[in-house]
Structure 1
Amino acid sequence: MAFEWGRYPEMVKSEEVADMSHLQAAIKAEQVSLLFKAMASSSIATTINASILTLMLWDVIRHDYLIAWLAVLLFITLGRLLHSHYFQRDQAKVQNSQRWEISFLAGTTLAALSWGCASLLLFADQSVVHQVFLAFVVGGMCAGAITSLSPQKLPILIYLSLSLLPLSLRFVMEATPMAYAMGFMLFLFWIILVISSLRIHHQITQNISLRLESQHQKDELEKSEGRFRELFENNKCVELVIDPDTGAIIAANRAAELFYGYSQDQLMSMSISAINSLSSEEIAVEMQHAKSEGRSHFIFKHRLASGEVKDVEVYSGPLHWNGEQVLYSIIHDITARIKAEDQLRKLSQAIEQAGESIIITDREGIIEYVNPAFSIITGHTAEEVMGESPRLLKSGRQSSEFYDELWQTILSGEVWKRSLIERRKDGSLYPASMSIAPIFNEAHEITHFVGIQQDMSDHEELENKFRQAQKMEAIGTLVGGIAHDFNNMLGGMTGNLYLAKKRMVDFPDVVHRLEVVESLSYRASDMIKQLLMFARKGVLEMRPFGLTSFIKEVSKINEVSIPENISFKTRFCLEELVVNGDATQLHQALINLLNNARDAVASVAEPQVSLSLDEFEADAEFSHLHPSMSGTRFARLTVSDNGCGISKEQQEHIFEPFYTSKEVGTGTGLGLAMVYGAIESHGGIVEVESTPGEGSSFYIYLPLLEEKQSVISPEDCDAIISGQGETILVVDDNADIRMSTKEVLESIGYNVLEASDGLEAVEIFSTSHRVISCVLMDVVMPRLGGVKAVERMCGIDPDVKVIFTTGYDKEDALKGEMPSSDYLILSKPCHIEMLSRVIREQLDA
């Protein structure tokens, strides 16, 4: 029959009622037993008092009345004595108490009626003394009956009423003052006896109840102790009884012997500190907590007889044991559970703290769990996606066949791995690498699926940067390969142009044309340098300088290149922003941005270009978007225009070399690529914001230094410094460069010797080193290169002064032949003014 929880209170109540009925029956049985036990003494008292009363009334009452009354009373008394004897033999069983109670009540009623008849048959009408003696005897019998009949209310009330009230009424019937007084006194005596009997009855009943309850509790306690002992000994759980004051083990069951490996006697002679890995002081504190604070649950480490340590879970509580309060402990071995929980905790923490998005669905694809990384990557909180389908991440970039393949794979029990495009909560798309695996139950049935997704945005950005780096490397290789010959040709051109200008000084128009060609030559050289810089093959001259002052000067210089119909606005911060950089490269980057802005507004009705510089404090979003940037303080240079703008598709390619959106012949595609390379080489970044038809804004962020101000070095003097007749050895394998260099140097006051390679240079130096003041040495030459040649010259004259020249990329092509840092290296083509100054500095050093 199933248990009916709703009826539990009624069942408890029924059990309580049954217990109460049983107790009432037991009390009534005790009451009946007390009544029968007192019957012998009351019968003796009745016989004696009845006999004395008969003798005292023998002379005033008819003898036949006396004899008849006495005979009836003694007969009733004898019957009650026999009744009591049979009751004792029957042992007053509880189930027979009601029968004995009724029979006792009948005998008591008959005895009371006998004494009540005495007031009628034995009342002496003529003798007041005998009347008073009768009242004394009947009253004495009633007073004596209180102790023997009070265990129950009804017998004492019947006895008192039937014995005493008829006599009181008989006195009243005499109608004399004395009789009235006697009748009233007897009635008052009856009231007092009734009250006393009721009080005695209450006390007797209470005493019986307390004794029975005490006995019942004692019996139940003995049963409980018996059951506890049986449970304690036979329980499969480890159980210990411990003295909370000393820690001594008072009792231990069989399971404790098997678990700890000690015998019963050994355990009983031990303290809990011999088992617990805690110190005695720590154990005392724990037991005090269990005793005073009611703590009942503990996790300990217990040491076995073998020395092995087990993790145990202890449930402990106070218990009365042989009259003393002890601690009763149930102990469970949880070593395996602790290991499993530790593994589960590690697994849970690994999933919660994983950088990849982890999602668990049921077999139908309904989401049941997502880790925090899922919310970080997708923008959806766990509460939002619970009970939903992963379809909320679909971007629409994958076909239905793509997802059909996914489901076919995972439903067949295999792992599915692919790359896809997903959609965040804000609608933005991101590339992801996805792996979905089925989860099987014990029956090898698929119950769930677990998906691990990695946001590939950073990886894709790294790939883009890698491809960009490959492009740069290709360009650098190309430029590095042609730089030498190109620079040699430009070097020859600039030298001859200088000589031609000197000879055509009387023809200013020709000089102007030659200057234009010379300017174009140096611009061609600058283009090579830009390409090398973009490919990170150029040499940056990094030094701290004040960017604010520098940009102000640059803006003034470049303002003249912006047509008057374009509104050019500038805004610079008041504080000097100090950066570490190459001023020439930053100048070139700014020129390229301003030129692009000027071209972008060419077809705008009200063209506007603005240039601003301010300090920028990086926030969390900026740091997240640019994790490679260190520090938080940056100089922000902004070039904006209201021109044609740049589309999203074009923005992805504008920093690529040779990419241009301009018409053929109006752009090389190197301007923004050079800007990108130059700023990255400075540890900065370039950002663009643009809307087609509304304009563009380019933002350059450069890390700030702590210095608050720095002075920009003044431009080097453009004047040519003449020689004083010193001899210069010019070494170059290019005859044109040798010739033009010789003529230039001779034109400014030097004597020149020539050598076509290193071997020839060493031979000339060995014979003429005393007159040679300086050697202008090419680095790369056939037969013997410049570095090796100088080493041999130093063997001849350790104090030889050398200036190296090269048309190669110094950082790449000359890695194996670079001179030491003690020597100065000039790149071809070199300005005549710079060459004259460097030679003079070397000679004067």
Structure 2
Amino acid sequence: MTPAPSVPSPVSGALRLALIYLVVASVWIAFSDTLLVWAMGREPPLAANVAKGIGFVIFTAFLLFDLIRRELRRREELSNQYRLYLDHSPDVMYRYRLDPEPAFEYVSPSVTEVTGYTPEQHYDDPHLGMKVVHPDDRPLLEQMVSGRGRPEGPVELRWVRADGSVLWVEQNNRIRIDDRGHRIMEGSARDITERRRTEDEKRRLRQAVEEVAESILITDPEGIILYANQGASNLTGYPRDELVGRNARILRSDHHPESLFRQMWTLLARGRSWRGRLRNRRKDGTIYTQDTTITPVLDDSDEIRSYVAVGRDVSIEEALRSQLEYAQRVELVGQMAAGAAHDFKNLLGIIRLNAELAGAQGVVTGTPALRQALDEVMTATHRGERLVTRLLSMGAAAELTVEAIEARQFMDSVTASIRTILPPTVELVVRIEPATPALMADRGAVEQILLNLAANGGHAMPEGGRLEIRVEPAHGDDDAPMQPGDTPLWTRITVTDSGLGMAPEVLSRIWEPFFTTRSGKGGTGLGLPMVRLLTERLGGRILLDSSPGRGCEAELILPAASPHDPPFLPQPGAGGGADAGPCEGDGDPAFGNVSNNPASETGTARDVLVVDDDDGLRRVLQRSLERMGHQVTALRRATEALERMEEGWVPDLIVSDIVMPGMNGSVFYERTQQLGIQTPFVFVSGMSVAETPAHPLIGGSVLFLEKPFSVSQFMETINLALEDDPKTVLQGAQSGRSPGP
């Protein structure tokens, strides 16, 4: 705005005239006196001096007239200019006489546009200037007018327009004393409503930026941090004054390749925003993950002035997502295991039954080499059965048998298995504390856990080393020290190797299904997830600690058996235990009681139908039944059997699979009942009795046998189904298990 022209005060004008008169008069007197003396050659007479004085007065009168005329004209021009400035200023200009009687001496026309009141209304009402002030702000103006407050300087007040709307003004007042000793207040008022609105918006924006949880950084084009909000300080761990002035590279971690940042800067240099997920490093060295958006800020010439980076901490979301992915992978493993269980059990059943039948023949013919070879086959079959059971446990598809297990005998039996999977260059040391209680767990599950941990330790020691297993009592899972007389509540098994160890980024992912550092070398990524899942299903926990060059230590804590739970002591030849022989049975210790013609136990040979879509299992079941002396019809599909039955054929016994293409075993049974055929049924399946769709049918003349099973179990089930006493049949079927050993 153009500054207002200055108007000289009366004192300054009078002083100027007096000085001019003094100079001119002095010069005239000196000049005229000198001239008279020189012209007359003597002192001038009185008449000459009088004439000289009159001439001086006339001269000075004309001179004063001209000076005063010029001064008044200049003052008038300046006054007009000042008045023109005041009248056209957007600010409200005013002069207000405070005493003796308050009154407006001048109000600029802009007051009408600002307040809605005209200057004439202000002249008519000397109190209108106070009335337009907002009631809450009047005390401040009253203090200024009365002299109790600050009389001069800018002050922000609210005015109320004639239409009732409110505006903000900045008033600058100056109080002076006029020539009569009266107080005059001169000032201006500027409408700052828009400025206040902008300032309020900026204040709200700054407050929002400060209080928002997201991290907000503003950097210059070189990446130097110019501003950091409190969210950035909370997220990074750096105080704000430590962030400002430093390059944003201090937050980088080693989790991203340089190519990522090159692509980022290439995009930003083009004036485009970049969005992505970054893993940054806090001041304390910990890593956090944030969703980041970086936006360039351009000036009027489209040059990059700064960058604004907004980051949202997604570490918790990422952890939850990882847990969800872990759960989904575990579920996938369970689904895969359950889906493959039927085929696995069929294969194991074929191997086992054929080996037992061949073993029985080997015993008869007395071929030791054949017997030894078949013995190895049976041993491998039992190991395969346990492996399938453990694999099914990944998906909770197999139930665990929890019982008290004597620690020392269990470790003696499992140590032999561990030695077979370790390289010969690895020393195995097993230490068992004398007071170690029995474990309350599933024997096969704990064995599988230790075998997996030992196998991992062996892989970590390619050049040889030491694997130590310590078994000891624990008072609790909080590592509280044992006191004399305390009853152990837990059993701690620690597996330590002297191998290569694991880096932190590997250690953080060891429980993920399918994650392996031995890709292409036989690693599947299922071992440790299986270990963890089995441990949790047993009610225990497992901790694993490792660092590069320091080996690995796995701490397994399992519930201990109470003194009232008798420990499970495996007996030689007992089925299912690790110390049992390779095959089960009541006859030959290796191959069971496989009779050539036991049909006499049921009185006579019977006509038996076998229905199974697996060719190998169907054939071995047929041979087993034929060795028992029965007449066997073996078919691949249930529909074929129904066609024969509809033609009038009724077998004495039906042995059927449950899961088959076309028509499953349950539907097959119901169709036979619709035909009025009351033939006993023996269902065989790779699923447990609780999982099979034929579960509601089990009972009475319907028996169930879970694969894989031995020849002796199969024979006893067949004999039981062919007995005349239905009570015996019902008792064998209600258990949901095979009646054999």
Using the size of structure 2 for normalisation, the TM-score is 0.52
Cα pair distance change 1:693/1:254, threshold 3 Å:
closer
Given that 1:601 and 1:607 are in contact with CA atoms closer than 8 Å, whether structure 2 keeps it comes out as no
Structure 2 equivalent of residue 555 of structure 1? 411
Select 1:517's aligned residue among 377, 394, 405.
377
Q: 2:164 aligns to what SS in structure 1?
A: helix
Structure 1 pair 594–400 and aligned structure 2 pair: CA distance change class (3 A)? closer
SS at match of 2:602: coil
Tell me the equivalent position of 1:725.
Answer: 602
Paired position in structure 1 for 2:359: 501
Question: Which residue pairs with 1:391 in the alignment?
Answer: 249
Deviation by residue 1:443-486 (Cα, 9 ceiling, x = unmatched): 99866532123556677778878988998899889888876666
Aligned letter for 1:389? N
Instruction: Label 1:384 to 1:577 Cα distance change in 2 as closer, same or farther (>3 A).
Output: farther
Preserved CA contact (<8 Å) 2:102 2:126:
no
Between the aligned partners of 1:597 and 1:645, the Cα distance in structure 2 is 9
**Paired AA for residue 236 in structure 1:** V
Match of 1:423 in 2: 281
The amino acid of 1:784's aligned partner reads M
Offset, 1:569: 2.4
Deviations 1:155-206 (A, max 9, x none): xxxxxxxxxxxxxxxxxxxxxxxxxxxxxxxxxxxxxxxxxxxxxxxxxxxx
Q: 2:500 maps to what in 1?
A: 645
Provide the secondary structure at the position in 2 that maps to 1:566: strand
Residue by residue over 1:227-268, the C-alpha shift from the partner in whole angstroms, topping out at 9 and shown as x without a partner, is: 9994566543333899xxxxxxxxxx99498439xxxxxxxx
> Pairwise mapping of residues 432-443 of structure 1 onto structure 2 (< 5 A)?
433-439=291-297
Q: Provide the rounded CA distance (Å) in 2 between the counterparts of 1:687 and 1:374.
A: 34
Tell me by how many angstroms 1:843 deviates.
3.9
Q: Which of 407, 411, 428 is the equivalent residue of 1:566?
A: 428
CA contact (8 A) 2:427 2:465 kept: no
- 1:600 touches 1:641 (CA, 8 Å); kept in 2? no
Aligned twin of 1:788: 667
Match of 1:759 in 2: 639
Counterpart position of 1:237? 133
Mean Cα deviation higher: 374-383 or 721-730: 721-730
Q: 1:694 is matched with which residue?
A: 550
**Contact 2:657 2:665 (C-alpha < 8 Å) held by counterparts:** yes
- Counterpart CA distance in 2 for 1:512 and 1:474 is 40
Give TM-score, length-normalised by structure 1. Answer: 0.46
Deviation string for 1:3-41 (max 9, x for gaps)?
xxxxxxxxxxxxxxxxxxxxxxxxxxxxxxxxxxxxxxx
Q: 2 CA distance for matches of 1:451 and 1:759? A: 70
Q: Secondary structure at the match of 2:667?
A: helix
> Any stretches of 5+ residues in structure 1 without a counterpart?
1-218, 243-252, 261-309, 313-333, 619-633
Q: CA deviation at 1:789?
A: 0.8
**Counterpart Cα distance in 2 of 1:750 and 1:805:** 18
Q: 1:675 aligns with which of 517, 520, 531?
A: 531
CA displacement at 1:426 relative to structure 2: 3.5
Structure 1, 824-833 or 745-754: larger mean CA deviation: 745-754
Residue 630 of structure 1 is matched in structure 2 by none
Would you say the 8 A contact 1:636–1:699 is kept in 2?
Answer: no
Please tell me the root mean square deviation across aligned C-alpha atoms, in Å. Answer: 6.3
- In the alignment, which residue of structure 2 is the partner of 1:171? none
Which amino acid in structure 2 is aligned with residue 646 of structure 1? G
Code of the residue aligned with 2:348 in structure 1: it is L
Q: 1:740 is matched with which residue?
A: 620
Change (3 A) 1:606 1:233: closer
Query: Paired residue for 2:579?
Result: none
Residue 479 to residue 380, structure 1, CA distance change in 2 (3 Å):
same
Deviation per CA, 1:494-545: give whole Å up to 9, x if none: 11222233344464844443222112133345545555655x4x713268x5
CA change 1:741–1:678 in 2 (3 A) is same
Q: Return the alpha-carbon distance in structure 1 between the equivalents of residues 265 and 458 of structure 2.
A: 56
Cross-structure match for 1:590: 450
Amino acid at match of 1:792: R
Structure 1 Cα separation of the partners of residues 262 and 520 of structure 2: 47
Q: What corresponds to 1:829 in structure 2?
A: 708
- Taking structure 1 as reference, are residues 833 and 573 closer, same or farther at Cα in structure 2, changes over 3 Å only? farther
Q: How does 1:182-581 map to 2 (within 5 A)?
A: 230-231=126-127, 234-239=130-135, 255=160, 258-259=163-164, 348=207, 352-354=211-213, 356-361=214-219, 365-371=223-229, 374-375=232-233, 377-395=235-253, 406=264, 409-410=267-268, 413-418=271-276, 420=278, 422-427=280-285, 433-439=291-297, 448-454=306-312, 487-505=345-363, 507=366, 509=368, 510-527=370-387, 536=395, 539-541=397-399, 545=402, 554-561=410-417, 566-570=428-432
User: Which aligned pairs between 1:705-720 and structure 2 lie closer than 5 A?
Assistant: 718=575
User: CA shift at 1:489, angstroms?
Assistant: 3.9
Give 3-state SS (helix, strand or coil) of 1:434's partner.
Answer: strand
Distance 1:512 1:732 in 2: 31
Displacement after TM superposition at 1:436 (Å): 0.9
CA contact (8 A) 2:349 2:617 kept: yes
Cα distance in 1, alignment partners of residues 623 and 237 from structure 2:
73
Cα shift at 1:664: 7.3
AA of the residue aligned to 2:613:
D
Q: Which letter maps to 2:429? A: S
**1:393: Cα distance to partner?**
1.6
* Residue in structure 2 matched with residue 166 of structure 1 by the alignment: none
Match of 2:468 among 601, 604, 608: 608
Aligned counterparts of 1:711 and 1:643: Cα–Cα separation in 2: 36
Distance 1:612 1:340, change over 3 A: farther
CA distance in 1, matches of 2:717, 2:231: 61
Residue 742 of structure 1 contacts residue 752 of structure 1 at CA under 8 Å; is this kept in 2?
yes
What is the percent sequence identity of the aligned residues?
24
